[in-house]
């Protein structure tokens, strides 16, 4: 499967009477986007704001962040399973508005374990230095839905509307010449010039059964993860619309933008292209809710890596809190026993900040561990010049000053390979 990313750098977003691309400026028509959103009767209205890097601005609570991307004719569809039929993602040409983001806000506090402020987009100050999202130009979307709308229906409407807007904006680039292109293909792994290179796979959790998926929650090709077994995915499927994040804020650490630019997959592609390794493929899995499911799923995942992908080594990441450590480590232990070398990435979520509390597994053979820190990092954030929220109550909460934990600053504490944090023992 071959995927070409046609990259169009965006240095500015501004409002205009019609949506179009003017060099590196994305011109956006509010009315065109408003009509697109209001096609869904779940919405009573919608507002838009533009946020630029370096502004004294805070927006939240964030529902999701999406990079504007659109498929050129002749390839796989945009967001199969959510915006259309569940065809295989990851083939053809995808136009990418790099440097832009469509960021949709929640109308109420997310609650759960993320507290009153939920996920916050910080465009300046110390938290911004640790988040890749602070360097983007954001089209902020403020939805308005009926109070009586069931929460799962509201979030399903959020997801579909945000993806539709992101595709619509990126279609402005379909007839433009990209600044550069990037070819993504692992079919060269059997090339004779690659003899002797290690075959490396990626195993990524996409949900944790610590929480039950919400009704009709579109995580993998538009479906939730009820009854899901580990499945082999082509790397391009992750990058091109097969996987979307969960609605659950308490699990955190993955936005749609993250999957579109998955750093582990992109780094494996880079090293594949420079012939440092052979990228064997990926396995998508979930963290289990009980020991029976855990044993079954971990063995399924390990067997797929060993026998289907024929990997010599694997990189594993987790999704969620402490429980997913167990699935991660057990899968790695099984792989090590089968002769497949592993590296795992974990996050310390121990609230007492003690090493002993963070120790959720201790397998001597699973000894290549990347620890990226956890919620022990926080900042006293000041009052900002501009606050964007869906209502005045949320705006007042977000105005500051207040204590902002890293897990609440969107883009800072990512558990799957995009965090700039690392754990240190003093």
> Quick one: pLDDT at residue 372?
76
> Quick one: pLDDT at residue 115?
60
Pairing type for strands 231-233 and 69-71 reads: unpaired
Q: Is the pLDDT of residue 134 over 60?
A: yes
- Measured between alpha carbons, how far is 31 from 36 in angstroms, rounded to an integer? 9
Higher pLDDT, 212 or 262: 262
H or E stretch at 142: strand 137-144
Four-point Cα dihedral 368, 372, 376, 382, nearest 10: 170
Tokens of 31: 């009315």
For 3-12, 261-270, 322-331, 371-380, which range has the lowest pLDDT when averaged over its residues? Answer: 371-380
Neighbours of 171 (CB within 10 A): 18
Q: Is the pLDDT of residue 113 over 60?
A: no
* 78, 84 Cβ separation under 8 angstroms: yes
Higher pLDDT, 355 or 76: 76
- Measured between alpha carbons, how far is 229 from 44 in angstroms, rounded to an integer? 39
The owner of tokens 């949506």 is 19
**What value does the mean pLDDT of the chain take?**
91
Mark 208-247 as b/e (b = at least 16 C-beta within 10 Å): bbbbebbeebbbbbbbbbeebebbebbbbbbbbbbbbbbb
> Quick one: pLDDT at residue 222?
95
Under the banding of pLDDT at 50, 70 and 90, the label for residue 73 is: very high
- Measured between alpha carbons, how far is 83 from 246 in angstroms, rounded to an integer? 17
Averaged over 5-32, what is the pLDDT?
A: 98
> Quick one: pLDDT at residue 426?
55
Percentage, residues of the chain above pLDDT 90: 73
For 108-122, 320-334, 386-400, which range has the lowest pLDDT when averaged over its residues? Answer: 108-122
- What are 81-97's pLDDT values in tens digits? 999 999 999 999 999 99
- Measured between alpha carbons, how far is 10 from 100 in angstroms, rounded to an integer? 6
- According to DSSP, residue 214 is labeled P
For 220-224, 241-245, 368-372, which range has the lowest pLDDT when averaged over its residues? Answer: 368-372
Nearest to 303 by CA among 341, 336, 342, 335: 335
Neighbours of 194 (CB within 10 A): 14
Q: Is the pLDDT of residue 344 over 70?
A: yes
Neighbours of 291 (CB within 10 A): 10
Q: Is the pLDDT of residue 352 over 90?
A: no
> Quick one: pLDDT at residue 370?
85
> Quick one: pLDDT at residue 91?
97
* 60, 121 Cβ separation under 8 angstroms: yes
- Measured between alpha carbons, how far is 309 from 286 in angstroms, rounded to an integer? 19
- What are 281-308's pLDDT values in tens digits? 999 999 998 999 999 999 999 999 999 9
Averaged over 327-345, what is the pLDDT?
A: 96
> Quick one: pLDDT at residue 190?
67
Secondary structure of residue 311 in the 3-state scheme = coil
Q: Is the pLDDT of residue 105 over 90?
A: yes
Higher pLDDT, 35 or 346: 35
* 279, 189 Cβ separation under 8 angstroms: yes
């Amino acid at each position: 499967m071959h995927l070409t990313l046609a990259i169009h750098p965006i240095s500015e977003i501004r409002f205009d009477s019609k949506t179009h691309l003017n060099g590196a400026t994305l011109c956006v028509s509010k009315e065109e986007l408003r009509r697109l959103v209001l096609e869904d009767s779940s919405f009573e209205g919608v507002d838009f704001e533009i946020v630029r890097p370096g502004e004294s601005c805070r927006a939240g609570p964030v529902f999701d962040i999406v990079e504007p991307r659109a498929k050129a004719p002749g390839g796989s569809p945009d967001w199969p399973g959510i915006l259309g039929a569940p065809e295989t993602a990851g083939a053809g040409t995808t136009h990418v508005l790099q440097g832009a983001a469509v960021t949709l806000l929640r109308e109420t506090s997310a609650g759960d374990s993320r507290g009153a402020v939920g996920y916050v987009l910080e465009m300046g100050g110390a938290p911004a230095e640790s988040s890749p999202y602070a360097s983007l130009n954001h089209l902020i979307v403020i939805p308005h839905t009926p109070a009586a709308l069931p929460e799962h229906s509201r979030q399903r409407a959020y997801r579909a509307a945000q993806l539709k807007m992101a595709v619509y904006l990126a279609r402005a680039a379909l007839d433009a010449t990209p600044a550069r292109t990037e070819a993504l293909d692992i079919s060269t792994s059997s090339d004779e010039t690659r003899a002797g290179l290690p075959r490396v796979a990626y195993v990524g959790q996409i949900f944790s059964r610590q929480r039950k998926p919400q009704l009709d929650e579109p995580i993998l090709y538009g479906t939730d993860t009820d009854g899901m077994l580990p499945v082999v995915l082509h790397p391009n499927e992750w990058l091109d619309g097969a996987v979307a994040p969960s609605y659950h804020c308490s699990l955190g650490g993955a936005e749609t933008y993250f999957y579109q630019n998955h750093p582990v997959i992109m780094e494996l592609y880079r090293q594949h292209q420079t012939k440092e390794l052979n990228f064997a493929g990926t396995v998508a899995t979930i963290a289990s809710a009980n020991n029976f499911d855990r044993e079954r799923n971990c063995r399924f995942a390990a067997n797929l890596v060993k026998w289907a992908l024929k990997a010599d080594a694997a990189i594993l990441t987790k999704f969620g809190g402490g429980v997913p450590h167990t699935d991660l480590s057990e899968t790695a232990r099984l792989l090590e026993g089968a002769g497949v070398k592993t590296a795992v990435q974990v996050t310390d979520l121990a609230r007492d900040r003690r090493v002993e509390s963070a120790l959720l597994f201790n397998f001597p053979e699973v000894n290549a561990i990347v620890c990226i820190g956890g919620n022990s990092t926080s900042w006293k954030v000041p009052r900002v010049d501009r606050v964007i929220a869906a209502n005045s109550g949320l705006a007042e909460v977000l105005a500051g000053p207040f204590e902002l934990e890293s897990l609440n600053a969107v883009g800072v504490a990512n558990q799957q390979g995009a965090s700039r944090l690392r754990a240190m023992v003093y």
